[in-house]
Amino acid sequence: MAVEQGRLSGVSRDPARSYEPVDDGDLARLARLADAECDQFFRRNRHLAHWRNRLRFAALGQGGANHYLRGERGIWDLDLLLLFAQHPDDDPKPYLRRSVRSWDWGPSKFGRCPYDPPGYTGRAVDVALWVIPDAAEPLDGLLVWLERRHTKNRGTPDVAHEPVVLVAPEPGRVVWDPPNVPPPAHKTTGHRSPAGVAPR
């Protein structure tokens, strides 16, 4: 895609986004952040400790995954998905935690979103915990979950409407790349204060 005077194929570049590429080193750092988030989450929620060994995937999702694949969209933040397999005997609620938790990526090539509060020195990383169906082949459970969400949530922005790229295991493997990915939304609001700085 040709870049002409600050434009990408007729789409204006948003000065609040970073257009630097997401590389393998960034995926490795996201994997370390996944470990740190799990450590903190399960230390605070000891009654959910049995879920810890059900983490099947850590993945980059939404706009960051799209940018990783195509290098065009730019990064407002990075979305880290922690995907846990639900055993049939579990409580049927499809979540471990309802709210997204944000971390600070710290100073980097991605810069800082000007709309984030002063506590951020770099881009925000939004970490969401999701529950996917358990399956003999974990990827089958993930794909069933994404297909279901993609079909069910037509017209409403959803994680399944954008690519999903594994961070762990198999970093860089594209497991989901739906058609008709929506364009980035124009945003002018930032994130909550960060939970901490992503491990280097």
pLDDT tens-digit readout, 167-184: 999 999 999 999 888 888
Phi, psi of 123 (to 5 degrees): -65, 150
pLDDT (tens digit per residue) in 108-118: 999 999 999 99
Q: What's the Rg (C-alpha) of the chain?
A: 17
pLDDT (tens digit per residue) in 53-94: 999 999 999 999 999 999 999 999 999 999 999 876 666 566
Site of tokens 């079909």: 151
Q: What does the mean pLDDT of the chain come to? A: 90
Residue 125 CB partners (closer than 8 Å, separation 6+)? 30, 33, 77, 78, 79, 80, 102, 103, 104, 105, 198
Q: 192 versus 97: which is more confidently predicted?
A: 192
User: Whole-structure pTM over 0.85, yes or no?
Assistant: yes
Site of tokens 């951020």: 120
How many residues are there in the chain? 200
- The angle at the Cα of 149, spanning 39 to 157, to the nearest 5 degrees, equals 90
Q: What percent of the chain has pLDDT over 70?
A: 90
- Residue 60, strand partner residues: 80, 165
pLDDT of residue 145: 95
CA dist., res. 111 & res. 73, Å (int): 15
Residue 154 CB partners (closer than 8 Å, separation 6+)? none
**Residue type at 160 in one-letter notation:** A
